[in-house]
Structures are given as structure tokens and as C-alpha cells.
Amino acid sequence: MKKIVVFLAVAAVLTGACCRGPVKTAGINYENMDTTARPGDDFARYATGRWTALNPQPPEYPMWGVTTKVYDDNVKALAAMIKEIAAQPNKKGSIEQKIGDLYNLAMDSVRLNAEGAAPIQAHIAELEALATREELLHYCAVEHDALLFGVFIAADEKDAANNILCISQGGLTMGNRDYYLSDDPQNVRARNLMQDHMRKLFVLTGYSEEVAADKVARIWAIENEIAVPYYSQERQRIPEENYHKISVDSLQALCGDFPWKTWLADAGFGRTKEVDLGQPEPVVKICEILMTAPLEDLKTIYEWDIISGGSSLLSDAFTDENFDYAAKRFGKKEKNPRWKSAESLVDGLMSDAIGQMYVKKYFPKAAKKEMLELVGNLQAALGERIKAQEWMCDSTKAVALEKLAAYTVKVGYPDKWDDLSGLVIDPAKSLYENVRAASDFYWQLNYDKKYEKPVDKSEWQMPAQMVNAYYNPTTNEICFPAGFLQPPLFDLNADAAANYGSIGVVIGHEMTHGFDDQGRLYDKNGNLCDWWTEADGENFKKPCDAMADYFSSLWVIPGELKANGRLCLGENIADHGGLNVAFDALKLWQQKHGRLGDDNGFTPEQRFFLSYATVWAETTTDDLLRYLVMMDVHSPARLRVNGALPQIDAWYEAFGITEGDSLYVAPENRVKVW
């Protein structure tokens, strides 16, 4: 299962806010509001209905809102730094040389178009030279490319202080079994588009239409086999069902003829004695396929991995086809400018180096201080809510409070950065070759840090410049990177009402993840164990089921598509808890500092909810919404307002919402989790 629970699905946004200080503004842009809507009928439109008109949507974004705008602004800031470095001569081997040459390679369209498919054809030639199944499996292992399954090092979920080698299901190009097994018209359309896209990329690589179509058919036949036992998105959210610690001997016995001990040794994991087999049934099926499918079919699957992974690093013909697919599938209207793609590549491959520069240039020290104060206030508020729960017994409350007190809080940037001196960027080689070499460098870096080593709890799971945040249950930490801490959400010049409604809810959201339907199953040390009494567990499950049913009743596309409340349950619980905790913290702040005045006719309580809604101002194409409902554990942005707020008593009081309002939920039917 994915260990880290992030706040935003697409690159996000937040801005640093302080609760005290000299001159403060209300922090609300009232021009974004559409007051022709009634708050109780459509609060998202009421609070932010004019945002899109005031912030025109760039055509390269099928999803556009406050969060994507801040992400886009961050991209521009990072690109400005990178372009400046790339424009000057830099000492060979220096970080600046690596950044500059990588960026210039990505920007050199003349060279990329002249090279065409040659960079990946050279890689494919290595694959084609393999004559036996044994040679193929050896090649996959030494290249660290697990064919059809996943292999990675992560914290042992039941011994969270130590790392373990994890083996997981894989092999589905579309990532979700429902795309293969369901004949829903939208799923049929999606897989037809994907198959057409695959065929076109094979043709661009140098194959005839007939050969390309045959290759796609053979890949799809094997993926259809894998899809049958593949764990659903919902099942992947159940921690106990995705943890199976077994010996390598047991793994070998379970998977029949697949030579696990040989493969692990070839891959560098020969000393491994135990593994966490995340999803046994799919992995067993995959091992069967690897030992029985025709060799040429397996080589074709690997070839597709090479092509799909490398297509964004090649000529315009490849990137144009990628855009054409995204346009048909998600409603994307314009190809990303080359400089944005280049920035994204450099930021991804040189993230720690870029992060250091970003923090130095853009992250004010005051933001970290204010964030730590906000976290302390929210932590206290969540503690009070835990104590107040009538359905939870005292012994479980005591352990819950211990877990809350044990949270590690990471703000801004890590205390130590990765050493990138061994990373080589050679401008004489192709962009694809350089990225391939960089992937090998990072594999070794990760291996050296983690294999048969204790978990380094100081490690960050996101780069400092990323516009996002997370909670990690196995380290019991919440993290807010510097890129996340910027206006309009964390604003040092905004008052407490705005900041508690934005960054305050985010902090509460991440804290609540430690007590959502997944996070509650990990103790204060990050170990997967049930520390609840049986009665408390049942009492918790009831409102969670009600929350899942409630969101599953809400329309994402009216008359066509409803939300998946079960898939999004953890994030919806976190939104619910974040809102309640942050609102309580605002009340505590006002008790200490004095009540804030009204602004533009809005009380501080009303501004809290207006600020929260601002985070989720957004417009998204229907095609992308269909994809997100299939794949994303977050509810669509509109439902994070119009779905979340009707469960919050304080919202009713702030805006005088009554039975005649469309969003009204009777008090006895409102979900009470945290």
C-alpha cells in the first residue's frame, strides 16, 4: 500500500500564515465570490464562483484552480533559477553544470528531433539480444527493472524502525483492474484510447502498423490475465490485507518455478531473508506468467516499458503523440511549453540541489516559526477533541493522546540533503541516456541508505520545493515542504481567521490522517497494530461507513457519475477532522488574543470557511474527473467543499444554513468522527 497520505492529488498550494504580528489583512479576496449563489445551496460557487473568470485557465491544464495556479507559479519561480544557471558557463562536475546541461539537453529540440527514436532503439537492441528466459530475468534484475511486479525498500509496517524489501503487484499499464474487467462505456473508451496510443508509440519506435498492433494485442492479453487477481483500489487501502511478511524460502515455495533466490541475488538483494509480499495472489500469477508466457511476449512487455518510460525524453513526434493522447483522454487543450517540461525534468532529477537553492531564495525563516506555532495550536485542539469523544473509552484515548504527542513535525526543508556529487550529467550523451544513468545513480543511493538498514526518520518523502504535504504512518510524521507555504493559503500578512481556514485546516487534515480509517491502525512508533479496544473499533467504524455512504451518494458529474466514498474515505475523514480541529483552534486563538473584528461584513467564523473554500476553487474537465474517480483517493475539489461542509455544525451556525437549503443535512444524520 502507499505509505504516505498526501493532502493534494495534483501539485498543490499553500501559503504561510501567522496568527500574530503587526499589520494583518483579512486575507480574503472577495472578488472571487459569486453572491448570486446562496451559501446553503452551493457554497463552492458562493465562495469562489468568480475565481476562474478572474484567473483564466491556461490551455495546457485540464484541471485549473487555486492549487494548480500556485503550483504553476512555483514552476515559473523554479524555472527562472534553472534558466539562469543554464545560461552561464559552469565548472565541470559542479551542481550548476549538472543542472544547466540537463536543462539545455531537454531544451535542444533540434538535437532531440535529429536523434528521433535512436536513444531508445539502442536500449531495445540490448533487450533483443537476449536469447533465453533466464537471460531476460537476469537482465531485468541487474537493470533494477522488475518486469510486471514491483520491488522496493520501505519501512517494515510491523517493525517500523527497520526497513524491509517489499514485493508488490504490477504490470497494468492503466493501473486499475476495473479498466480491464469492466465494460462500462467510459472504461471501454479509456482502454481503446490507451491501446491506440501504445500502437502509435510502437510505430514511432520503428515498427510497421501491423507489427505494432500485434505487439499491443499480446501485451493486452497478458495484462488482462494479471487484472483478474489484481487488488482493487479500495482493497489496496486496507493495511492488513497488503502486508504479508514471509521468508524467501516461503516466497519461493509460493511462486513455483520462478527463481526468486537467483533473481534477488542478481538484483543485489542476495542477503535478503524475509520480504513483505504486499499482494500475494497477483504476484503468484505474475510469476506464473513470467515462467510460461512466450519469451517474445515478455520481451515485448519490457520493450513497452522502455518506450512508455522514455517517450517524454525523445523527439517532438513522441511528445506530440503523448499530448494527443492526453487531449483525447483528459481534455488537455495545449501541449506544455518545452521550458515547463524541461523544468519538471531537472526538478525531478536534481530535487535536493534545486531544493537548497529554492529554500535560500524563497523561504522566509519567519514562515517556519509561524508554522510550528500553528502546528502546536492544532495539536492541542485535536487533543481536546480526542478527550471529548463519548464513544471512545479512556484507555484508548490515553494511547491516542500518546500517539498525537509523538508526532514528528517537519516544516520547510530537511536538516540534511542528498550528496549528488556522484551523479554524472554528460552533454555528449543523449537526454535519454543521461536520465537512464541518473536512475541508476538514485537506485544505488537509495540502496546504500536503506537495504538492511534501520529507517532514517529524518528523511523527507517530498522535496522542499514541492507544493504538497503529507502524513506518513510508519514514521508518525507530518510534513509541510517550503513550496507549500506560500500565498494565498499560508500568508504571513493574513489574520488568524484566513490562516486557520486554510493552512490550519491543512495541518489538522494531516494530523487527522493519523486517526483516519488507515492511520488509526498504526501506533505511536509507526507499527501496524490494533491498539483500540474492540468496542472502540466498532464505534469508530459506524461513522466511517456513514461518511463513505454519504460521499458515494454525491454527484461528480450530475446524472452520470457519483463519487467513490469508500476509496476516498481516508481523505474525507481527514478533511472532516481538519475542519473541526482548525475551527476549534481558531476559537482558542481568539480566547487568547481577543475576538477578531468583522471584515467586509463577514465575521471571522465566516471568513474561516470562505478561506477553506478558496483552497478548492477549481475547474476540471469531465474526462479528467472520470479518471480521478477511478484512481484518486481524494474527492474532487468541489465535493471537498459542498460535500465536507454540510457535516460541520459550525458552518451551519456561521452562515445560518437551514432546512430549506439544498446542502442541508439534519443534525442527527451528520457524521461525527473527530
User: How far, in Å, CA of 72 to CA of 11, rounded?
Assistant: 9
What's the pLDDT band for 18 if we cut at 50, 70, 90? very low
Strands (E) in 521-573, as ranges, are 555-557, 561-562
- Asked if 574 and 516 count as a contact pair (C-beta separation under 8 A), the reply is yes
Contact (Cβ atoms closer than 8 angstroms) between residue 27 and residue 611: yes
Angle between helices 604-615 and 66-86 (to 10 degrees): 60
Q: What is the mean pLDDT of residues 625-634?
A: 96
* DSSP 8-state assignment for residue 596: P
A 10 A CB-CB count for 104 gives 18
Q: Is the pLDDT of residue 125 over 80?
A: yes
Q: Is the pLDDT of residue 11 over 70?
A: no
Q: Which residue has the cell 490550519?
A: 504
77 contacts: CB under 8 Å, gap ≥ 6: 358, 362
Q: Is the pLDDT of residue 13 over 60?
A: no
Q: Residue 471: which of 378, 548, 556 has the closest Cα?
A: 378
Can you give the pLDDT at residue 14? 26
In the predicted structure, residue 20 carries a pLDDT above the cut 50 = no
CATH level 2 (architecture), domain 5-79+360-414+460-669: 3-Layer(aba) Sandwich (3.40)
pLDDT for residue 5 is more than 70: no
Whether the predicted pLDDT of 256 surpasses 90: yes
Average pLDDT for 353-365? 94
Are the C-beta atoms of residues 414 and 460 closer than 8 Å to each other?
yes
23 has pLDDT over 90: no
| DSSP secondary structure letter of residue 153 | E
- What is the per-residue pLDDT for 3? 47
**Maximum pairwise Cα distance, the chain:** 77
The pLDDT tens digits of the residues spanning 392-409 come to 999 999 999 999 999 999
* Bridge partners, 409 (sequence order): 478
Q: What is the rounded CA–CA span in Å between residue 533 and residue 552?
A: 29
- pLDDT the model gives residue 1: 38
The answer to whether the CB of 139 falls within 8 A of the CB of 431 is no
CB atoms within 10 A of CB 623: 20
How distant, in Å, are the alpha carbons of 204, 334, 537, 668 from that of 321? 9, 12, 50, 53
Distance CA 265, CA 450 (A): 17
Return all residues near 37 (Cβ < 8 A) that are at least 6 apart. Answer: 45, 46, 49
Find, among 532, 558, 529, the residue nearest to 544 by Cα: 532
pTM exceeds 0.85: yes
Amino acid 24: pLDDT: 66
Task: Assess contact for 509 and 578: CB atoms under 8 A.
Answer: yes
Looking up cell 504580528, which residue turns up?
Answer: 21
Query: What DSSP line would sit under 311-377, residue for residue?
Result: GGGS-HHHHHHHHHHHHHHH---SPPPHHHHHHHHHHHHTHHHHHHHHHHHH--HHHHHHHHHHHHH
Q: What is the mean pLDDT of residues 37-50?
A: 98
Q: How far apart are CA 260 and CA 668, in angstroms?
A: 55
Peptide bond into 543 cis (omega under 30): no
CB 504 within 8 A of CB 356: no
CA–CA dist 640, 643 (Å, integer): 6
pLDDT the model gives residue 4:
53
Mean of the pLDDT values across residues 331-348?
96
Other Cβ atoms less than 10 A from the Cβ of 626: the count is 21
Grid cell listed for 55: 484567473
Is the pLDDT at 66 greater than 80? The verdict is: yes
Provide the pLDDT for residue 21: 37
Quote the distance between the C-alpha of residue 448 and its chain's center.
25
**b/e code 322-361 from CB counts within 10 Å (16+ = b):** bbbbbebbbebeebbeebbbbbbbbbebbbbbbbbbbbee
Beta strands 408-412 and 274-277 are unpaired
Q: Which of 669, 377, 651 is nearest to 507 (CA)?
A: 377
In this predicted structure, the answer to whether residue 512 has a pLDDT above a threshold of 50 is: yes
How many percent of the chain have pLDDT more than 90? Answer: 93
Would you state the torsion angle of the CA atoms of residues 526, 527, 531, 536, taken in this order, to the nearest 10 degrees? 70
Measured CA angle at 73 (ends 102, 16), to 5 deg: 115
pLDDT of residue 25: 81
pLDDT score of 26 more than 50:
yes
Distance between CA atoms of residues 85 and 670, nearest Å: 55
Q: 370 falls in which pLDDT band (50, 70, 90)? A: confident
Residue 514 vs residue 5, higher pLDDT: 514
496 close to 451: Cβ distance less than 8 angstroms: no
pLDDT in tens, 149-177: 999 999 999 999 999 999 999 999 999 99
Q: Strands, E, within 254-293: which ranges?
A: 274-277
Give the integer Cα–Cα distance in Å for 450 and 154.
8
**Is the confidence at residue 414, as pLDDT, over 90?**
yes
Helix 316-330 to helix 185-205 angle, to the nearest 10 degrees?
A: 180
Least Cα distance to 520 among 532, 535, 508 occurs for: 532
Q: Look at residue 493 and tell me whether its pLDDT is greater than 80.
A: yes
Residue 667 is classified by DSSP as G
Instruction: Give the C-alpha separation, 499 to 377, whole Å.
Output: 12
Apex CA 306: angle with CA 444 and CA 155, to 5°?
A: 35
Calpha distance 125→77 (Å, rounded): 40
Residue 248's nearest CA partner among 259, 240, 239, 237 is: 259
- Angle between helical axes of 66-86 and 338-349 (0-180°, round to 10): 80
Using 50, 70 and 90 to split pLDDT, how confident is the model at 475? very high
Q: What is the mean pLDDT of residues 575-583?
A: 97
- Give the type of residue at 218: R
The three-class DSSP label of residue 125 is helix
* Domain-wise residue ranges, the chain: 5-79+360-414+460-669, 118-335
Nearest to 211 by CA among 306, 113, 300: 300
Give the pLDDT band (50/70/90) at residue 215. very high
pLDDT confidence tier of residue 85, bands split at 50, 70 and 90? very high
Q: Which pLDDT score is estimated for 111?
A: 98
Q: Which CATH number fits domain 118-335: 3.30.460.10, 1.20.120.1200, 1.10.1380.10, 1.20.272.10?
A: 1.10.1380.10
Average pLDDT rounded to a whole number, residues 226-250: 97
Q: Region 65-93: what's the mean pLDDT?
A: 95
Portion of the chain with pLDDT greater than 70, in percent: 96
| Per-chain mean pLDDT for the chain | 94
Asked if 674 and 570 touch (Cβ cutoff 8 Å), the reply is no
